[in-house]
Amino acid sequence: MVADSINAVECVNLGRVYSSRSALGRRRDVEALKDLNLEIPKGSVFGLLGPNGAGKTTTVRILSTLLTPTSGRARVLGYDVEAQAKQVRRNTGFILGGERGLYGRITGEQNMHFFAALNHINPRDAKRRTRQLLERVGLAENAGMAVENYSRGMKQRLHIARGLLTDPPVLFMDEPTIGIDPVGAQELRNYVPELASEGKTILLTTHYMAEADMLCDTIAIIDRGELAAVGTPGEIKRRFSRIGIVELTVNRPREELAGEILDLEAVERVESIAEGPFQKLTVSLRFGEDLTDKIVEIVGTDNIESLVSRDPTLEEAYINIIR
Amino acid sequence: MTNFFIQSYLTYRALFFWLNWPSYIGNVFLVPVLYITMLLLTGRFANSPLDSEFYVLGMAAYSTPFILIWGITQCNYYERVTGTLAHVLGSSGNRWLIFWSKGTMHFPNGLFTVTSSLLFAWAFIGLDFTNLNWVTLVVSVLLFALSCTAFSLCIGIFAIVMRSWLTLSATASGLLILLTGVVIPLEDLPFFLHYVGNVLPLTNGVTAFRAAFDGAGPMSVGDHLIWELGVGISYGVLGYLFFLFVEADARRRGAYDTSIL
Ligand SMILES: Nc1ncnc2c1ncn2[C@@H]1O[C@H](COP(=O)(O)OP(=O)(O)OP(=O)(O)O)[C@@H](O)[C@H]1O
Ligand SMILES: [Mg+2]
């Protein structure tokens, strides 16, 4: 097998069509993924972004063998998700999150023990790992409580602990921080680099741009089942937002400044606000243009308190891609 | 092996919704008593030529598939509707063990219920134990409890597919009461239905079970006992194959979380 390839996950022309029938027997097909090509290097954190219905969950389900592709193929650590599902399952953990998928009538600890037994972990190791993991996700105190009495965030934590139970080299997380309060979400985000430093490969989907920006080495944006962009967060920001931003603070405010800068070629928008005795100007310009000199000329060198050129945020880039 | 029991125990605790005192006592101990009493009275009222022992023993034996079918199908049903099925099938768990683990803890219930039914019949109806051959009794009960467990596991897979357990359990337990000879002697069934009884669990087991009370040794009813075992194994294998098929089909269709499989 190509198990020693540098990629932990490879999708080649991956496609998935869902067929459903209406009550009258009319067939309806939804093409959730179209010829998706992805490569996730071992040990990296890969973010999958896209609007609702883009096919993120579908991708995660295919990679965790819950769903078969209808075309193309996908490999995890060199194992085909369809033909070698068993090996894939042994080497991956998946965290689907949400309210479902846990046994409500038994405790968090018992849920862990059940899945440990299912995964052939011997009972002594199972106890130890359960204790460690519940501690790690902050559920140690509620380990003995029936899961139906857990809050949404507690369930989410239990999902994560379960996903880590087998200590898998590859982890798939579908919106891991959804439903968790900001402090808790921050805490959980801290695990991602921690897990990555243990050499795990992580694929996560998220709607939080800041989360993706902070955690991921590589980001792929998919839209309607197709790959729209892939690269490091920095690359995506630069390549796909067709604007650059210059922010400057002016010593002696002058109302006409905004208009004068806007007249420059390649400037798309200028915002002007008063900041105490100063005037703050935010200039959006076409990407790739460097107008610093011209702006300085208009404002006057001695009149500039500060000037920074910055990249747009990932969010600004994302919106540009999806539109 | 330990893991198999942990798995069996926790899946039972997690999914058997009758596992609280009122439901458990009601279904394992009171329902059979009611059935026995009801049939006894109906039999007397209708001036049935069969003696009351026929009904009492038939219904005592029938209490086993009753609790097994209703218990096991509900566990399979809840596994699907709570969304845990995806996690169970997404694990590297052994499918053969997953299939049987759904029945392990129900099996003893099948034994408890027939035992308590017999005790009730002895204490209140005067069931005669004087000629009883204990070996035949124990072997026949163990065998029909096993075959009924396997049968229920098989029906349980339908509960996953159909997302329903009430209708299924009612149908399956209705079939057994009609066709296994627990209340209607098989000879009285129209020709082809007689054959159906032979591929259902309990039919042969209950014949041996009744014979035990007439003092028959295990050898003299050996063919019935072996047949009962064969039926049990067949449903076990059939159910398991069906389970594998349902799993593959669900992966193909993406149906773990939708309402119609
Ligand atoms: N089981 C299913 N049967 C039919 N169609 C489905 C099924 N699951 C998903 N779809 C459809 O496939 C498409 C992709 O869905 P998917 O859940 O992968 O999106 P997503 O990117 O995870 O969206 P979200 O951000 O809302 O979670 C959607 O159009 C959805 O309606
Ligand atoms: Mg999703």
pLDDT attached to residue B259: 39
Range(s) of chain A covered by CATH 3.30.70.260: 239-322
Q: What is the mean pLDDT of residues B217-235?
A: 95
What are B238's two structure tokens? 């059939």
And the tokens for A2? 């190509």
What value of ipTM does the predicted structure carry? 0.90
Chain B residues whose CB is inside 8 A of the A119 CB are: 91-93
Angle at A180 between CA A176 and CA A182, to 5 degrees: 110
pLDDT of residue B148: 96
Task: Identify the band that residue B260 occupies on the pLDDT scale cut at 50, 70 and 90.
Answer: very low
pTM above 0.90, yes or no: no
The answer for B 41-100 residues in CB contact with A (under 8 A) is 82-84, 86-94, 98
Nearest CA to ligand 1 atom 30: A53
In whole angstroms, give the CA distance from residue B36 to residue B15: 29
A26 against B207, higher pLDDT: B207
Contact by Cβ (8 Å): A113, B7: no
Residue B154 predicted with pLDDT over 80: yes
- Tens digit of pLDDT for each residue in A40-76? 999 999 999 999 999 999 999 999 999 999 999 999 9
**Interface contact A101-B84, CB threshold 8 A:** yes
How many CB atoms within 10 Å of residue B258? 12
Taking only the tens place, the pLDDT of each residue in B161-181 is: 888 889 999 999 999 998 998
Confidence of residue B185 (pLDDT cuts 50, 70, 90): confident
State the average pLDDT for chain A.
89
Q: For B189-209, what is the mean pLDDT?
A: 89
pLDDT-wise least confident of A184-193, B47-56, B238-247: B47-56
pLDDT per position as a tens digit, A95-151 = 987 788 999 999 999 999 999 999 999 999 999 999 999 999 889 999 999 999 999
Among B49, B18, B56, B64, CA closest to B35:
B56
Q: How far is CA B147 from CA A89, B80, B222, B223, B230, in A?
A: 33, 24, 16, 15, 8
Which residues contact ligand 1 via a Cβ below 6 A? A 18, 20, 30, 32, 50, 52-58; B 254, 258
Burial of B205 (0-12, 13-18, 19+ CB in 10 A): buried
Per-position b or e across A190-212, b if 16+ CB within 10 A of its CB? ebbeebbeeebbbbbbbebbebb
SS3 call for A286: strand
How many CA atoms lie within 13 Å of A310's alpha carbon, on the beta-carbon side?
11
Q: Determine the pLDDT at residue B23.
A: 83
Query: At B75, is the pLDDT very low, low, confident or very high (cuts 50, 70, 90)?
Result: very high
Burial (CB count <10 Å: 0-12, 13-18, 19+), residue B227: buried
CB contact under 8 A, A104 and B3: no
What mean pLDDT is predicted for residues B43-61?
Answer: 80
Which of left, alpha, beta for B247 (phi over 0: left; psi -120 to 50: alpha)?
alpha
Q: Which of A35-39, A253-257, B142-146, B187-191 has the lowest mean pLDDT?
A: B187-191
Task: Name the residue with the closest Cα to ligand 1, atom 4.
Answer: A18
For chain A, give every residue range classified as CATH 3.40.50.300: 7-231
| Rounded-to-integer distance, Cα B42 and Cα B22, Å | 27
- For residue A126, give the amino acid letter: A
Topology of domain A7-231, CATH: Rossmann fold (3.40.50)
Which H or E element spans position A115? helix A108-118
Q: What is the dihedral of CA A149, A152, A158, A159, to 10 degrees?
A: 130
Superfamily of domain A239-322: ACT domain (3.30.70.260)
Which of chain B's residues have a Cβ under 8 Å away from the Cβ of A98? 83
pLDDT in tens, A195-206: 999 999 999 999
Which residue's CA is minimally distant from atom 24 of ligand 1?
A52
Q: Please, are residues A109 and A123 in contact by the beta-carbon 8 Å criterion?
A: no
Nearest alpha-carbon partner for A71 in A79, A62, B109: A62
Which atom of ligand 1 lies nearest, measured to the CA of A58?
A: 18
Helix spans in chain B (H): 2-15, 21-25, 31-45, 52-81, 84-89, 95-104, 106-120, 134-162, 166-179, 191-198, 203-213, 222-253
Residue A88, CA distances (Å) to A39, A195, A197, A200, B225 in order: 16, 19, 22, 15, 44
Tell me which DSSP letter residue B98 carries.
H
- Assess whether pLDDT exceeds 60 at residue A2: no
Helices vs strands, H then E, count in chain A? 11, 14
- Residue A9, C-beta contacts closer than 8 angstroms, at least 6 positions apart: A38, A39, A40, A46, A63, A74, A75, A76, A170, A201, A203
- Residue A234 tokens read as 């920095």
> Which chain A residues are Cβ-neighbours of B256 within 8 angstroms?
66
The Cα diameter of chain A in Å comes to: 76
**Chain A, chain B: beta-carbon pairs less than 8 Å apart:** 94
Angstrom distance (rounded) from CA B241 to CA A99: 31
Domain boundaries, chain B: 2-253
- Six-digit token string for A153: 């965030």
Q: For chain A, what percent of residues have pLDDT higher than 70?
A: 98
